[in-house]
Chains A and B, each alone.
Chain A
Amino acid sequence: MNGFPGFALRRTVGTLATLLAISVVVYVVFYVTPGNVAQITCGPRCSPVQVQQVADQLRLDDPLYTRYWHFLQGLVIGQDYSTGASVQHCPAPCLGLSYQSDQQVTELILAKLPVSLSLVSGAMVMWLILGVGTGVLSAWRRGRLSERVLTGITLAGVATPVFVIGLVLMIVICGELELLPFPQYVNLTDDPEQWAWNLLLPWLSLALVEAAAFARLTRASMLETLAEDHIRTFRAYGVGERSVIGRHALRGAFAPVIALNANTVGSAVGGAVLTETLFGLPGVGRELVHAVDVVDLPVVVGTVLVIGFFVVIANAVADVLYAVADRRVVLT
Chain B
Amino acid sequence: MSLVEVRDLSVGFGGLRAVDGLSFSLAKGAALALVGESGSGKSTVASALLGLHRGTGARVGGSVEVAGVDVQRASDDELRRLRGARAAMVFQDPLSSLDPYYAIGDQIAEVYRVHNRVSRRAARARAVGVLDRVGIQDAGRRSRSRPHEFSGGMRQRALIAMALACEPDLLIADEPTTALDVTVQAQILDLLHVLREETGTGLLLVTHDVGVAAGNADEILVMRHGRMVEQGPVADVLGGPAQPYTRQLLGAVPRVDVPRTGDLRVDAPRGVTPGVDSGPAPGSAPGPAPGPAGGATSAGSVPGGSVPGGSVSRGSVPADVVLEAVGLRREFGRGKHAFAAVDDVSLTVRRGETLGIVGESGSGKTTLGRMLVGLLEPTAGRILPGGGVRPDVQMVFQDPVSSLNPRRTVGESVADPLRARGTGTRPFGRSPERTGEEARIRGRVRELLERVGLEGAHYDRYPHEFSGGQRQRVGIARALAADPRVIVCDEPVSALDVTTQAQVVALLDELRRELGLALVFVAHDLAVVRQVSDHVAVMRRGRIVEYGPTDEVYGAPQDPYTRQLLAAVPALDPAVAAARRATRRAARREPAAM
Of B14-22, B110-118, B494-502, the stretch lying at the interface with chain A is B110-118
Cβ of B399 under 8 Å from chain A: no
Q: Are B114 and A238 neighbours in the complex by a CB distance under 8 Å?
A: yes
Min CB–CB distance B162 → chain A (angstroms): 7
Q: Are A230 and B96 neighbours in the complex by a CB distance under 8 Å?
A: yes
Min CB–CB distance B233 → chain A (angstroms): 29
Tier of interface size on chain A: 20 to 34
Q: Are A230 and B52 neighbours in the complex by a CB distance under 8 Å?
A: no
Q: Which residues of B contact A251 (CB under 8 A)?
A: 99, 101-102
Q: Are A237 and B101 neighbours in the complex by a CB distance under 8 Å?
A: no
Please give me the residue from chain B that is nearest to A330 by CB atom: B148
Cβ of A248 under 8 Å from chain B: yes
Cβ of A202 under 8 Å from chain B: no
Cβ of B84 under 8 Å from chain A: yes
Min CB–CB distance A259 → chain B (angstroms): 15
Q: Mark A216-253, 1 if CB is under 8 A from B, else 0.
A: 00000000000011101111111110010001100110
Q: Mark A254-290, 1 if CB is under 8 A from B, else 0.
A: 1000000000000000000000000000000000000
Q: Are B88 and A237 neighbours in the complex by a CB distance under 8 Å?
A: yes
Of B75-83, B383-391, B453-461, the stretch lying at the interface with chain A is B75-83
Cβ of A327 under 8 Å from chain B: yes
Q: Are B148 and A237 neighbours in the complex by a CB distance under 8 Å?
A: no
Partner of A238, one of B84, B93, B100, B101: B84
Q: Are B52 and A236 neighbours in the complex by a CB distance under 8 Å?
A: yes
Q: Are A229 and B91 neighbours in the complex by a CB distance under 8 Å?
A: yes
Q: Which residues of A contact B182 (CB under 8 A)?
A: none
Given contacts A233-B91, A236-B83, A237-B84, contact A252 B101 (CB under 8 A): yes
Min CB–CB distance A240 → chain B (angstroms): 7
Cβ of B131 under 8 Å from chain A: no
Partner of A230, one of B81, B82, B84, B99: B99
Cβ of A328 under 8 Å from chain B: yes
Cβ of B85 under 8 Å from chain A: yes
Partner of A233, one of B82, B97, B146: B97
Given contacts A238-B83, A238-B84, A239-B111, contact A248 B148 (CB under 8 A): no
Q: Are A230 and B50 neighbours in the complex by a CB distance under 8 Å?
A: no
Cβ of B66 under 8 Å from chain A: no
Min CB–CB distance A222 → chain B (angstroms): 13
Q: Which residues of B contact A233 (CB under 8 A)?
A: 89, 91, 97-99, 159, 162
Distance, CA A258 to CA B52, complexed state (A):
33
Min CB–CB distance B437 → chain A (angstroms): 49
Q: Are B115 and A229 neighbours in the complex by a CB distance under 8 Å?
A: no
Min CB–CB distance B176 → chain A (angstroms): 13
Min CB–CB distance A215 → chain B (angstroms): 22
A238-B79, A247-B110 given; 4 more Cβ-contact pairs under 8 Å? A228-B96, A230-B98, A236-B52, A237-B114
Which positions in B face A, CB cutoff 8 Å?
50, 52, 79-85, 88-89, 91, 93, 96-102, 110-111, 114-115, 146, 148, 159, 162
Query: Can you give 14 contacting A-B residue pairs, CB < 8 Å?
Result: A229-B91, A229-B97, A230-B96, A230-B99, A233-B162, A234-B110, A235-B52, A236-B91, A238-B82, A238-B83, A239-B111, A243-B110, A247-B110, A327-B101
